Amino acid sequence: MNNTFGIKALALLLMVVPTLTSCDKCKKDDEPTLKDEMVGEWKIKSMTFDGSEAMGFVVTSSKMEFEEYSGTNGDFEWGIFYVDGSSENQEGDYEVDEEDKELELENNEGERIKFDIDVDGDDLELSGIVDGERVVIKAERD
């Protein structure tokens, strides 16, 4: 009798364990990836170069837009408006490295910039070295 009970208990355990692990997998699959979190328009609130704020002094406004991935990357557009009335618009492809939490932008001229990414809900922070200067960009979802 004890042997039958042990076999039934083992059979029940073997049926329940895969169900529990599949539920955990479903939860992970439902969590948005960094690629998903990047998609949308972002209004830049702060842009510092080696610790000096550019917003309001050199730059009047700036906005970034990241489209959903199609294949191995997505498209981006980055507009910057300067206090002297000039503006700059960069377009190209972007890639997100989920593991290292990095964003690489490649504009249409082939120039590349790499940033560390931190997304917290509707807040985005990008940091990296651009032309030898430490750049930190803080933005909000627009």
Q: Per residue in 23-62, pLDDT tens? A: 544 445 678 899 999 999 999 999 999 999 999 999 999 9
Question: Nearest Cα to 99, choosing from 13, 24, 33, 4?
Answer: 33
Cross-strand partners of 120: 123
Residue 127: pLDDT above 50? Answer: yes
∠ Cα 93 89 95 (to 5°): 15
Half-sphere exposure of 64 (CA within 13 A, CB side): 26
Q: What is the pLDDT of residue 31?
A: 85
Q: What is the pLDDT of residue 26?
A: 47
Strand intervals (E) in 11-132: 40-49, 52-53, 59-66, 74-82, 87-97, 102-107, 112-120, 123-130
Both tokens of 64, joined, read 């970034």
Identify the pLDDT of residue 27: 46
Cβ pair 44, 55 in contact under 8 A: yes
**Percent of the chain scored above 90 by pLDDT?**
77
Residue 12 has pLDDT above 60, yes or no: no
Whether this model's pTM surpasses 0.75: yes
Q: What residue spans define the domains of the chain?
A: 1-31, 34-141
Residues with Cβ < 8 Å from 107, sequence gap 6 or more?
90, 91, 92
The pLDDT of residue 141 is above 50: yes
pLDDT at residue 30, as a whole number: 76
CATH of domain 34-141: 2.40.128.20
